[in-house]
Structure 1
């Protein structure tokens, strides 16, 4: 399996979906389409830690890298995903440099961080802790999700934190925050500010897209998109399949 972190650093164009349906079968089906990665979404789904392990295992069988959008900023969520074998984590709602530094500490081993060396699946259930620690230092992806007005204001400080591999822009929540707080700037303005901050910091940036056409447009500017989700694909296919028959 090609190292996803290396591909990010090279700015290879990368495209994959969110997976929020709590089933390894879904992972197998989607991974069979050969996306560059999948991002298992535990923030907005009922996926348990035990089921998460099986979903990551399914991605590994298909040799598709599995990121996990963790439930929140607690280090326990990051540890659960990485110990289960995820290649990296996406930490939502990062709005300050201190929050970004805490996300990095939770995901990286000393001296870059404070992650504990556990005996979970990633380390072969005690058989390969030293080997896994070495691989994790080289391969673990740490993505921070920037999706608030505060994150836009603090973007330069956030992205100056060492150890961040990806600045992922969440236009949905950013738009909600903009609507709630008001102001004269548009969502496009804010997204462009985040892209510019990532470019200045030398950090790859990514964004959520709804469909293939949007992904094609964004991949001309950014190296990473998460396109839709398993639930969105199923909804669209169902609506098309069961639309009223002609005549």
Structure 2
């Protein structure tokens, strides 16, 4: 797991999924299925702060890196999940270079950032602080979501911020923000995603995106996107139940 950030920066193809079910069993089931990483969704799920450490621990058992999508930009939220042992953070709604710089400060230790030193799980509850400090800046992934019209307009300045590893496109919020909803807005949304991707790649950042299915992974991979969050544990669960139920119902029909 120590090489996860290196894989991100080198733009190796990485396929992960969102974890939204607030129970370690779900993490273990998904981790054993073979994703490259998991993203525990603290922003859009019923997962509480007190549960995150247990979920990270469950992913660690199976040697699958677990990053956490935090609810916002607050340094204490970022520090909390990193102290719990997360392999990185996904920070939503980053729309300006100033916001990007602020999350770098919250994620990285000095001299790069301003993250405070704490005796959390990641540092062996205080017993391995020097060891953790020596490697955290090199190993923790910082991904930021660009998902607003303002972020699209500021993408060149955002992508130029040192300390950011992955520019992650949130197509759902972006489509709402730029007025590109539904089939009629697809072309406009695709153009916006390509603009973000090209600009980020030129600046030396890796690019990620959420996709609800595998249908267009090849299309977006061809643009240089290498970091994919595919659906979520809840979406996979619902799809599998629907598929198998329909299949069984068809076979049981007399």
Instruction: Provide the TM-score with structure 2 as the length reference.
Output: 0.92
CA–CA distance in 1 between the matches of 2:163 and 2:50?
28
The SS at the match of 1:40 is strand
Q: Which residue of 1 aligns with 2:234?
A: 231
CA–CA distance in 1 between the matches of 2:239 and 2:194?
29
Residue 240 (1) aligns with residue 240 (2): no
Q: Which residue of 1 aligns with 2:134?
A: 134
How far 1:137 sits from its partner (Å)? 1.5
- Residue number among 202, 205, 208 corresponding to 2:204 in the alignment: 202
How far 1:180 sits from its partner (Å)? 8.0
CA–CA distance in 1 between the matches of 2:78 and 2:227?
21
Contact in 1 for aligned 2:2/2:139 (Cα 8 Å): no
How far 1:140 sits from its partner (Å)? 0.9
Which residues of structure 1 form unaligned runs of 5+? none
How far 1:238 sits from its partner (Å)? 1.7
Runs (4+) of structure 1 moved beyond 3 Å?
none
Which residues of structure 2 form unaligned runs of 5+? none
Aligned in 2, Cα 1:58/1:133: closer, same or farther, shift over 3 Å? same
Q: Which residue of 1 aligns with 2:217?
A: 215
Q: Which residue of 1 aligns with 2:190?
A: 188
Q: Number of aligned residue pairs: give it.
A: 245
User: Deviations along 1:185-234, whole A, 9 cap, x unmatched?
Assistant: 81111111101110221100011112223234323331111011001001
Contact in 1 for aligned 2:180/2:189 (Cα 8 Å): no
User: Deviations along 1:130-186, whole A, 9 cap, x unmatched?
Assistant: 1101110210111110000100100010111110000000001000112289x9x81
CA–CA distance in 1 between the matches of 2:39 and 2:69?
7
Q: CA RMSD in A?
A: 1.6
CA–CA distance in 2 between the matches of 1:40 and 1:180?
28
